[in-house]
Structure 1
Amino acid sequence: MVIFRLLINLQMRVKALILFLALENFMLPCFTKQLLGVDCPGCGLQRSLLFLSKGEFVSAFLMYPAIYPMLALFTFLGVNKFFPIKYSNHITITLAVCTVGFILTNYILKFI
């Protein structure tokens, strides 16, 4: 019985690993780039998340520099949902402004 459970657990982990490694095949195309021929402000986000999930932190930043402020914002929002934090509105606004600043700066630098 214990061996049977271990085998099922191992099979599930192998399937999850295969699915994780095949994520590149399921990325959504950028419709703005396909229709207009220019990058959108979100171009590179999916690939950056993939690099981040593989542990390639520098490549993730180089692909989409706004990934870290965005992760900080969403992590803070998630933590604040379960554990209310004093001055959370100010922190949220600051993180959101930083994230938008990184996104716009990156978008402008792509065209220079």
Structure 2
Amino acid sequence: MAIINWLEHHMLTCPFKHVTSFDCPGCGIQRSFIALLKGNFKESFHLYPALLLVLCTLLIVSIHITFRLKNGAAYVKYGYIITTIVILISYGVKMTHLGN
């Protein structure tokens, strides 16, 4: 639990948000990861819906690099595409709700 406490007190500042005052498509991923480490899956999803997809895609990349899967490149490609789509949709929804 010390690592979670350390992470909470050493989060990085978003340079995009610092300059523009707007969230970037990655804003919330640190807080979401900490919530996931604490076991708060609902809060984690609420903070950054694409986090689990990002982690799954990284896992697929690691497995493909290690074991040279036959169709691994296709899995990686589709993982990135799906993750990017979810990031963009959730960012659009976030920006739409901020304007209300």
Partner of 1:44: 28
Consecutive aligned runs of 4 or more in structure 1 exceeding 2 Å deviation = 17-20
Partner of 1:76: 60
Q: CA deviation at 1:59?
A: 1.0
Unaligned 5+ segments in structure 2 are none
C-alpha distance in structure 2 between counterparts of 1:90 and 1:81, whole Å: 13
C-alpha distance in structure 2 between counterparts of 1:33 and 1:21, whole Å: 24
TM-score with structure 2 setting the length: 0.88
- Give aligned pairs, total: 96
Unaligned 5+ segments in structure 1 are 1-16
Residue deviations 1:43-72 (CA, integer Å, cap 9, x gap): 001111111111111111110011011111
Q: Which has the larger displacement, 95-104 or 30-39?
A: 30-39
Which of 14, 22, 38 pairs up with 2:6?
22
Counterpart residue type for residue 80 of structure 1 = H
Secondary structure of the residue aligned to 2:25 is coil
C-alpha distance in structure 2 between counterparts of 1:40 and 1:66, whole Å: 14
What RMSD over aligned residues (CA atoms) do the two structures have, in Å? 1.2
Higher-Rg member (1/2): 1
Is the counterpart of residue 66 in structure 1 residue 50 in structure 2?
yes
Partner of 1:54: 38
Percent identity between matched residues is 32
